C-alpha cells in the first residue's frame, strides 16, 4: 500500500515555500480580505447560538465514538447502502481507488465525468488518473472550476480559489471558456460559469461526488453546498460515484442535527447551507440508476492506531481553523504542499504520508491555539502538533543545529551553577553583535530573527544575581 496526499511528496519544506509566497503581495491581500470576511461572518452566527459549546462537545463525542467502532459502522453502512440498491467498494489506497473509479466509468464506455465537492479526489489525484485513461473530468463547484481552468492547486479546503480575486477570475474565464467579452461583476462571472456548466450537466453521463457525511444507519450520503451544482451532479447523470474517506461515517441519521448546525456556521458563516442533499441508494425512475460508493482508507487506519493523534480524523473539513490561523492567513494554502492546508493540513498531511516529506509541517504553527478554539468538533490541534514534533525529534529527524542548541540549553538549565556560567557566556557571546543597546544582526539559525527585529542586549545583572546581592545586603 502506498499513501499519497496530492502532490505533497514533491513539495519543498514549509519555510521555503512560505518565503516565496510571502513576496506575493496580491496573494496576501486576497487572503487577508477573504479570511477576514469569513471569520467575521462566522463569529456573528456562532455568537447567536447559546448551546454552541454543547454542540461542539456532542460532535466531539460522536466522532470519538465512531472512531472507536469504525469497523462496525463501516459494515453497517455497507449493508444499508447495498440494501438500498447501491454498490460499495473498498479502496486501501489512492491507486486502488483510482483503479476502481476508472474501471466503473470505462465499463459504461463514458468519456467524460462531472465532479463536485470532493477534496478526497484531489488527495488521490483522481483527475490525473482519469485523464491518463482518456476520460475528461469537469469540476462543477465554481471555485474548483476556477482552480481547474487555471491549472492551479486548491489553496483552501472550503474556498479552493481563495487566492484568486475577481479580476484574475475574469481573465481566466475569458481565456479558457473562449468568450468574446465578459464583465467583471459577480453576476457576469457566475452567468458565464452557469452557461459553461449547464451544457455539461445535461450532456455528461457520470457524476463523481464526495461526501460530507455517510450515515451508517441508513446507508445515506449527505453533501452540503452553496451553489446547487452538487445537486445537479448527483441527480442528473446515469451513474453516480461517491468517494468517501472512511472517517466520514456518522452512526445515525439524527446525528446530522448536530453536524448540520456546526458545519455551515463554521465553514461559511451561514446558518444553514443553501443546498443540503441527502440520498440513499437508488430510487427507481428518479436520479442516477447506478450508484457506487468508494470507501477510501489511504492512511486513515494508520492514524486510527495512535490514540493521541486519532482525533485528527474527527475533522469535518469546515476550514474554520484555516481562517483563524495567523500562519495560514499570511501564507495561504500552497505553502503546505498538500491539498490539506492550514492547521488541519499541518497535522493531517504528515500523518497520512510518511513523515520524511512533510516534517516541516508540524512546526508551521506558533501554537496560538486559535484553531482549537474555533474547531466545531474540538480537535486539540496544538496538542497533536506537539505530539508530531516530539515524534520527529524522537526519530532523530530534527536538524543537527537545533538538536545541539536544545541540548546545550538543557544542560545550561540543569541547575543554578551551570546556569550562571551560561549567563556569563551569553553576555560574552553577544559582544561582537552589539550596537548600542541592541543586537541588530545575528549569524546562523538566528539570522532570520534579526532580519526585521532587534534583540535587546543582555542586561549586566541577571535577576538571580540582583536577588543574591539584595539578600547579602539585608543580612548585613
Partner 1 sequence: MRISLFVTCYNDLLFPETGKAVVAILERLGHEVDFPIAQTCCGQMHYNTGYQSDALTLMRRFVSVFREAEVVCVPSSSCVAMMRDHYLKLAAQASTPGLEADVKTLLPRIYEFSELLTDKLGVEDIGAFFPHEVVLHVSCHALRSLRLGDKPARLLRKVRGLTLVEPADGEDCCGFGGTFSVKNADVSAAILAAKIQGLLATGAEVCTAVDNSCLMHIGGALQRQRTAMRTLHLAEILATSQ
Dihedral of CA 28/29/31/35: which sign?
A: positive
Site membership for partner 1, residue 272 (CB under 8 A): no
DSSP 311-323: GGGG-----HHHH
User: Can you tell me which of 406, 421, 428, 431 binds partner 1, judged by CB under 8 A?
Assistant: 406
Q: In the complex with ligand SF4, which residue's Cβ is closer, 96 or 247?
A: 247
Shortest Cβ distance from residue 470 to ligand SF4 (Å)? 50
Task: Give the nearer residue to partner 1 in terms of CB position, either 79 or 447.
Answer: 447
- Out of 197, 211, 293, 344, name the contact with ligand SF4 by CB under 6 A: 344
CA dihedral sign, ordered 260, 266, 272, 273: negative
How far apart CA 294 and CA 244 sit, in angstroms, is 6
Strand segments (E) across 132-280: 136-139, 206-209, 213-215, 220-225, 239-245, 249-250, 275-280
Question: Which position among 67, 224, 249, 320 is part of the footprint of ligand SF4 (CB under 6 A)?
Answer: 320
Q: Which residues contact 105 (CB under 8 A, 6 or more apart)?
A: 113, 130, 133, 135, 206, 239, 241
- For 337, list phi and psi in degrees, rounded to 5: 55, 30
Positions 250 through 279 that interact with ligand SF4 (CB under 6 A): 266
Shortest CB 236 distance to ligand SF4, Å: 30
Give least dist CB 290 to ligand SF4, A: 32
State which of residues 410, 432, 443, 476 lies at the interface with partner 1 (CB under 8 A): 410
Interaction with partner 1 in 25-64: which residues (CB under 8 A)?
A: 28
Query: Does position 12 bind partner 1 by CB under 8 A?
Result: no
Residues touching ligand SF4, count (CB under 6 A): 14
Of 289, 307, 304, nearest to 245 (Cα)? Answer: 304
From candidates 26, 195, 354, 461, binder to partner 1 by CB under 8 A: 461
Helix runs in 318-365, H state only: 320-324, 326-331, 342-352, 355-358
Q: Which stretch, 75-83, 86-94, 101-109, 464-472, contacts partner 1 (CB under 8 A)?
A: 464-472
d(CA 431, CA 433): 5
In this structure, are residues 269 and 38 in contact, taking their beta carbons and an 8 Å threshold?
Answer: yes
Residues 321-340 that bind ligand SF4 (CB under 6 A): 321
Site for partner 1 in 91-150 (CB under 8 A): none
Q: Which of residues 371-430 bind ligand SF4 (CB under 6 A)?
A: 374-377, 379
Whose Cβ is closer to partner 1: residue 71's or residue 402's? 402
The DSSP line for 393-408 is: HHTT-S-HHHHHHHHH
Residues 309 and 387: beta-carbon distance below 8 Å = yes
x-marked contacts with partner 1 along 331-350 as a string, rule CB under 8 A: x-------------------
Query: Of 426, 424, 425, whose CA–CA distance to 439 is shortest?
Result: 426
Residue 386 engages partner 1 in binding (rule: CB under 8 A): yes
Residues lying near partner 1 in the complex (CB under 8 A) are found at 14-15, 18-19, 22, 28, 326-327, 329-331, 362-370, 372-373, 386, 389-394, 398, 402, 406-407, 409-410, 413-416, 419, 423, 426, 438, 440, 445-449, 451-456, 458-459, 461-464, 466-468
For binding to ligand SF4 (CB under 6 A), which residues are involved? 266, 315-321, 344, 374-377, 379
Amino acid at each position: 500500500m502506498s499513501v499519497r496526499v496530492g502532490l505533497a511528496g514533491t513539495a519543498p519544506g514549509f519555510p521555503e515555500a512560505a518565503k516565496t509566497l510571502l513576496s506575493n503581495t496580491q496573494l496576501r491581500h486576497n487572503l487577508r480580505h477573504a479570511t477576514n470576511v469569513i471569520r467575521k461572518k462566522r463569529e456573528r452566527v456562532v455568537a447567536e447560538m447559546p448551546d454552541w459549546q454543547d454542540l461542539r462537545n456532542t460532535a466531539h463525542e460522536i466522532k470519538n465514538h465512531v472512531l472507536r467502532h469504525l469497523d462496525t459502522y463501516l459494515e453497517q453502512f455497507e449493508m444499508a447502502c447495498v440494501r438500498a440498491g447501491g454498490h460499495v467498494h473498498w479502496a486501501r489506497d489512492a491507486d486502488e481507488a483510482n483503479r476502481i473509479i476508472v474501471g466503473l466509468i470505462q465499463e459504461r464506455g463514458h468519456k467524460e465525468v462531472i465532479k463536485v465537492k470532493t477534496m478526497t479526489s484531489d488527495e488521490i489525484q483522481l483527475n490525473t488518473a482519469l485523464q491518463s485513461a482518456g476520460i475528461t473530468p469537469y469540476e462543477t463547484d465554481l471555485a474548483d472550476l476556477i482552480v481547474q481552468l487555471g491549472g492551479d492547486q486548491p489553496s483552501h479546503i472550503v474556498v479552493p480559489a481563495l487566492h484568486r480575486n475577481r479580476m484574475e477570475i475574469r481573465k481566466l474565464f475569458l481565456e479558457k471558456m473562449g468568450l468574446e467579452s465578459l464583465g467583471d461583476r459577480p453576476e457576469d462571472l457566475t452567468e458565464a460559469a452557469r452557461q459553461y456548466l449547464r451544457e455539461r450537466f445535461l450532456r455528461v453521463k457520470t457524476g463523481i461526488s464526495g461526501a460530507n457525511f455517510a450515515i451508517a444507519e441508513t446507508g445515506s450520503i449527505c453533501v452540503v453546498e452553496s451553489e446547487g451544482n452538487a445537486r445537479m451532479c448527483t441527480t442528473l447523470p446515469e451513474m453516480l460515484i461517491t468517494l468517501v474517506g472512511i472517517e466520514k461515517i456518522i452512526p445515525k441519521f439524527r446525528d446530522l442535527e448536530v453536524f448540520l448546525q456546526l458545519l455551515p456556521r463554521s465553514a461559511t458563516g451561514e446558518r444553514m447551507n443553501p443546498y443540503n442533499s441527502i440520498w440513499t441508494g437508488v430510487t427507481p425512475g428518479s436520479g442516477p440508476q447506478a450508484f457506487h460508493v468508494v470507501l477510501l482508507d489511504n492512511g486513515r487506519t494508520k492514524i486510527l492506531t495512535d490514540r493521541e493523534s486519532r482525533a485528527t480524523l474527527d475533522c469535518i473539513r469546515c476550514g474554520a481553523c484555516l481562517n483563524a490561523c495567523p500562519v495560514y492567513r499570511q501564507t495561504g494554502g500552497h505553502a503546505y504542499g498538500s491539498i490539506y492546508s492550514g492547521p488541519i493540513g499541518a497535522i493531517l498531511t504528515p500523518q497520512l504520508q510518511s513523515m520524511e516529506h512533510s516534517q516541516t509541517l508540524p512546526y508551521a504553527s506558533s501554537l496560538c491555539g486559535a484553531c482549537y478554539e474555533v474547531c466545531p468538533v474540538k480537535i486539540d490541534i496544538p496538542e497533536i502538533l506537539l505530539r508530531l514534533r516530539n515524534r520527529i525529534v524522537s526519530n532523530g529527524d530534527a536538524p543537527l543545529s537545533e538538536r545541539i542548541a536544545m541540548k546545550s540549553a538543557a544542560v545550561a538549565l540543569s541547575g543554578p551553577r551551570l546556569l550562571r556560567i551560561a549567563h556569563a557566556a551569553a553576555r560574552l557571546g553577544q559582544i561582537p553583535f552589539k550596537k548600542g543597546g541592541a543586537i541588530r544582526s545575528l549569524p546562523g539559525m538566528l539570522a532570520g530573527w534579526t532580519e526585521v527585529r532587534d534583540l535587546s542586549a543582555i542586561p549586566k545583572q541577571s535577576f538571580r544575581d540582583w536577588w543574591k546581592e539584595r539578600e547579602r545586603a539585608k543580612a548585613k
